[in-house]
Amino acid sequence: MQDNQTLRTPGDVGQVSALLMTMVSGYIDAHLFLRYQSFAFAQTGNVVFFAVALVQHHPWTRYLWPLLAYATGLALAQLLRGVRPALPRHFMVAVMVGQVAIFAVLAMLPAATPAAIFLVVLSLVGAIRLDLFRSAGGLSLVTIATTGNLMRLAQSVAAMVRDRRAGQVHAAVFSVLVVAAFAVGAFLGALATVHVSSAALWGAVAIEALALVSYLAASRP
């Protein structure tokens, strides 16, 4: 699905790695929703929850802090892009290793840890993922949610119907896989959380580590 030449695109993580990262995003948000009724990556949900909580006079800060952390993460990602605009391989590897480490630290925290710790930290990570990891094998994607990917799926299928060249078919198939990866991740995250509660985060650590290994293998000089 990819080659080293394609991976020379700035910030391109390769298609296998991108699919695994997208799966992690669905996994984590399903986990957080079941435990804390909030999201870290799909901030659209938090905006709705925030508005509803205000109208119903319910506690609303639980949704505000993740949104602020997300905005901070986007600003940080732009700063990182300014420092390393070419997004070289070693830079992307460092960011991915950092994400694996953060997930592992959170997985080791006791179950009684305040929800804000998980939501704020993961919202910050989610924003950085959105900004830095958005190209896979020369194709655009969103690695933290599914709405944009559904739009790309519709566009790629329409393009394939109009022109059945190999590139159009490949783009359509990849779009299907991206949407499916998020859905599968959400299913696995929900399943793991129901059965092992806070320890379910180790599943995200494992999948993210696989994404890192895939990127390292595919991007070797």
Query: CB of 142 within 8 A of CB of 134?
Result: yes
SS3 of 184, please?
helix
Q: What is the pLDDT of residue 8?
A: 55
Q: Are 77 and 129 in contact (CB under 8 A)?
A: no
- Give pLDDT, residue 6: 44
pLDDT tens, position by position, 95-152? 999 999 999 999 999 999 999 999 999 999 999 999 999 999 999 999 999 999 999 9
Cβ neighbors of 97 (< 8 A, separation 6 or more) are: 212
pLDDT mean for each 10 residues of the chain (221 residues) = 51 96 99 98 97 97 97 97 94 98 98 97 98 95 96 95 89 97 99 98 99 95 78
10 Å CB burial of residue 85 (0-12, 13-18, 19+) is exposed
The pLDDT of residue 164 is 81
Of the candidates 125, 144, 129, the one whose C-alpha atom is nearest the C-alpha of residue 182 is 144
CA distances from 80 to 7, 11, 88 (A): 19, 12, 12
Q: What is the pLDDT of residue 182?
A: 98
pLDDT of 163 reads 85
Report helix, strand and coil shares of the chain as percent, to nearest 5: 75, 0, 20
Tell me, what's the pLDDT at 7? 46
